[in-house]
Structure 1
């Protein structure tokens, strides 16, 4: 019996956001809107997104003993995240400087702060959290050696989901644990390496990445949806849902969190990705990162808006036992339409 549907290991940042008419060129200054401070960071975002959907969620992270750290802790607790694994002090809370243009696209610069102090020793000390979690999710806004330690501390039946953002080359020990590895095109090219012949299509990218060792790969394609690929050769396209984007900040984190949660509930990778795509689609219609994350009821409403498509049962979080590795997936006819950003 697991205490948590999802353990997220990763960053927690204060997002400092301003809206601009256009992004500045080198050496140029532009005026933006009033600065708004939101709780963020890829780890905290994923934890809040999953908890808001109904997942029993814990976060392992570091924040500073400062106002930004308190903002993050309050936000996570309000969403229902268990913060027993959040360590406080040692460095200022991480900060992300975010500019958003009128189309909703963003540019982000991150000052890691306390995130850079989340050490392998911290991971080992939290061993009981790993044993209590159905699925473990991580990103790369924390030290890579700590991500390696995450893999080494997974429970025998645990499933590991990795979004390698910001991307960097990964050791094989990490790659072979991924089920799935979730990437966009840029991340796929970095992970594959500068000398790799990645090919022109998402199917080509998936083939190259799977050869590096992941059990499965999900490639997010923005308005074109996503591609799910497993070692057995199955390839499933998850179409997008058209929405009017307001702000894409955090939408990828919402996608990853929802996918990880649905995998822990026993769904196939294709159906989990389809549901996650709908979560991401709702998120981009709202401003901010954590403020944009929907509840399961809001996602179900979007599913019902597309007649003829079957939605995953959001009440099945305590469903079949997790830990099953990737195999042949359901057909595209069984997958819910969705979109990732």
Structure 2
């Protein structure tokens, strides 16, 4: 984050959630990255991103064997690659959300245990087969209200989304990826983790905003219980 009001605001939110902030880096020269979001009457969004200090994000360090390392592409790809190299050396799991959409090197793909593209991103990446041939163990294609397709060990499985009334889809993908990573780190099996991720993504569409819409673990479990 930058050394500015936006950075301090994000720091205070994370502190309020009792998150370990030891890995946060403060850039003295760049402002905190921002996103300008326009939401239409159906809850769909268009986003303009100003990267700011995201461009100065260094690779992750101090990775343990039981960790799950989750990354996306709003930071330098070199930082993602080096973080995943460190994760592989530590025996940790790696998850990549390839957004914003970009072409990815064979090296980076070979370092990914799980890749989570949407329908547009999987086309740009050359399809599921290309990712699997590059060494990706699991591909999860997100399809919004249509749910997800899971490609794992030669099998494709479809899981439906949870039925909610969306007001703003901003942050739904982030909630999905975060809930998936947290669930896998907690020891949940892949399909159960995907179910929890779907619940997290669905809940994020029911509240306006990005950070305010991110659901808690209790909210995720409540939605799953109510839908079973």
Q: Normalized against structure 2, the TM-score is what?
A: 0.94
Q: Report SS of the residue matched to 2:157.
A: strand
Residue 208 of structure 1, CA deviation? 3.8
CA-based RMSD: 1.5
What are the Cα deviations for residues 170-204 of structure 1, in whole angstroms up to 9, with x where unaligned?
A: 11221112121000011111222xxxxxxxxxxxx
Larger deviation: 77-86 or 102-111? 77-86
Residue 132 of structure 1, CA deviation? 6.9
Task: Report the Cα distance in structure 1 between the residues aligned to 2:218 and 2:35, rounded to whole angstroms.
Answer: 30
What are the Cα deviations for residues 59-99 of structure 1, in whole angstroms up to 9, with x where unaligned?
A: xxxx1111111111111111222111111122111111111
Which residue is equivalent to 1:322?
none
Q: Choose the corresponding residue for 2:192, options 255, 263, 271.
A: 271
Which residue is equivalent to 2:2?
64
Q: Choose the corresponding residue for 2:80, options 116, 124, 147.
A: 147
User: Are 2:204 and 2:213, in contact at CA under 8 Å, matched by a contact in 1?
Assistant: yes
Task: Report the Cα distance in structure 2 between the residues aligned to 1:279 and 1:255, rounded to whole angstroms.
Answer: 6
Which residue is equivalent to 1:216?
138
Q: Which has the larger radius of gyration?
A: 1
Q: Choose the corresponding residue for 1:191, options 117, 125, 138.
A: 125
User: Are 1:236 and 1:270, in contact at CA under 8 Å, matched by a contact in 2?
Assistant: no
Runs of at least 5 residues in structure 1 that lack an aligned partner in the other structure: 1-62, 193-204, 308-341
Q: Report SS of the residue matched to 1:292.
A: coil
Task: Report the Cα distance in structure 2 between the residues aligned to 1:81 and 1:190, rounded to whole angstroms.
Answer: 34
Residue 290 of structure 1, CA deviation? 1.4
Is residue 288 of structure 1 aligned with residue 209 of structure 2?
Answer: yes
Task: Report the Cα distance in structure 2 between the residues aligned to 1:207 and 1:266, rounded to whole angstroms.
Answer: 28
Which residue is equivalent to 2:49?
110
Q: Normalized against structure 1, the TM-score is what?
A: 0.64
Task: Report the Cα distance in structure 2 between the residues aligned to 1:72 and 1:300, rounded to whole angstroms.
Answer: 26
Task: Report the Cα distance in structure 1 between the residues aligned to 2:120 and 2:134, rounded to whole angstroms.
Answer: 17
Residue 148 of structure 1, CA deviation? 1.1
More strand by share: 1
- Residues 154-233 of structure 1 mapped to structure 2, 5 A cutoff: 154=87, 155-192=89-126, 205-230=127-152, 232-233=153-154
User: Are 1:229 and 1:236, in contact at CA under 8 Å, matched by a contact in 2?
Assistant: yes
Residue 133 of structure 1, CA deviation? 5.5
More helix by share: 2
Higher relative contact order (CA 8 A, sep 6+): 1
Q: Choose the corresponding residue for 2:16, options 67, 78, 96.
A: 78
Task: Report the Cα distance in structure 2 between the residues aligned to 1:304 and 1:267, rounded to whole angstroms.
Answer: 16
